[in-house]
Amino acid sequence: GTIAERGGAELDAAGLAVSPGFVDVHSHDDLAVLCDPQMAFKVLQGVTTDVVGNCGSGVVPFEVGLQRFRRLDPDAAPPPWDSFATYMARVDEVAPSCNVAVLIGHGSLRQGAMGPAQRAPSGGELDRMRAWVREGVEAGAVGLSTGLIYEPGRYARTDEVIALARELAPDGGLYATHMRNEADGLLDAVAEAVRIGEEGGVPVQISHHKAGGRNNWGRVRDSLRLIDQARARGLDVTADQYPYTAGSTSLHAVIQNGAFRADSPGGLGRLSAADVLIASAPEHGEWEGLRLAELARRWGLGDEEAARRVVEAEGEACFVVVFSMDEADVRAVMAHPTTMIGSDGVPAAGSKPHPRLYGCFPRVLGHYVRDERVLELATAIHRMTGMPAAKFRLADRGVIRAGAFADLVVFDPARIRDTATYGALHRGRSFSE
């Protein structure tokens, strides 16, 4: 097509790629969009739309969300809200640099309805969660997320999640899940996600698809086969991933999942202290950037004992980078036609976060597209733009066409690269100027 009118400013993009703005389908920026509305860590890597509320951690009820925010930033004091609609209004007021889509966090609803109870909800408690889901849908939420590996979501039975998913079905909302197990129980967890989609009548998004723990490397080929089989039956099930062999979570969750125990490694897989890098320790900044193995050596403790000492000192504010995945698995998941890209970055105040927070999208385009040729450039761009926009029902996003929103990214495919590393965690992306 042609552009008949000239704008107030012109950029010479000769020889460069022009793409729709990237959609980060898996973020944890619920607080950041309010308190850091410039969102430099996202827009500088080409992200123009951010999906928040993942892994079951949502913004309603406010008190539950605030507890989580203060684990990331002890000084967090966002303006309060009393509903999904009010949260979205708060976002509109600060006008962040990227667009925001909201998922309803099951774990937050459960905590608000029944506290930390390790049981099935009563009829009244389930009704309260259902009402919150309906409220979120009416306010414009794009779906429901779960974190079935975390408290309190781990105590939810499958039928509880199905009941809530059914509240999404009339409006077309999707179910996004940090599954119950991404290690020894990976295949059962994928089967559970598929069951929730089929019985709940909703599309499914499997978050950060991977196989954790060395003994599980290679199993993504089986989990991808389960996805293909479900799609052949008519279920709209897709996945997302971040392009790294390390993940990130709280050290509390690592211990809770028994990752240091050979007899019960839980949903994260078997880990050693050498696999764990301290990313955030607000009370002991000198620990940040160290492997847990180094602290264990200094203290003369075993792996789990050292981890417990850190958590005793830091509580749930300690986030870690966990090296548990296989490069061949990363490539297999990326090459599969159902996979989108999501950073899963956690912007914790004052921390040394996982490099995916800054470098996720340029890493795909530079390392995996240009250098390793795992994907063609056009395919990768579609996985970051049109494909997620369609899945999450983001109207007029993810495309370049007349009448669509002008969310654009201009970059040099020959030069784009990620510069954020595990040793230089705060470096951003490197686009061409």
Q: Give the pLDDT confidence of 26-77 residue by residue, as tens digits.
A: 999 999 999 999 999 999 999 999 999 999 999 999 999 888 888 777 788 8
pTM greater than the 0.85 cutoff: yes
Q: In 82-185, which residue ranges form alpha helices assigned H by DSSP?
A: 84-94, 106-114, 123-139, 158-165
The 10 Å Cβ neighbour count of residue 12 is: 7
Per-residue pLDDT of the chain (433 residues; tens, 9 = 90+): 556 667 677 888 999 999 999 999 999 999 999 999 999 999 999 999 999 999 999 999 999 988 888 877 778 888 899 999 999 999 999 999 999 999 999 999 999 999 999 999 999 999 999 999 999 999 999 999 999 999 999 999 999 999 999 999 999 999 999 999 999 999 999 999 999 999 999 999 999 999 999 999 999 999 999 999 999 999 999 999 999 999 998 999 999 888 898 776 677 888 999 999 998 898 999 999 899 999 999 999 999 999 999 999 998 889 899 999 999 999 999 999 999 999 999 887 556 788 999 999 999 999 999 999 999 999 999 999 999 999 999 999 999 999 999 999 999 999 999 988 876 655 554 443 3
Q: Max Cα separation, the chain?
A: 71
* Domain 17-245+325-430: CATH superfamily, name plus number: Metal-dependent hydrolases (3.20.20.140)
CA angle, 181 then 183 then 189, to 5° = 35
Instruction: Let me know: does 63 contact 108? Beta carbons within 8 Å.
Output: no
Q: Give the pLDDT confidence of 102-155 residue by residue, as tens digits.
A: 999 999 999 999 999 999 999 999 999 999 999 999 999 999 999 999 999 999
Map out the domains of the chain as residue ranges. 17-245+325-430, 246-323
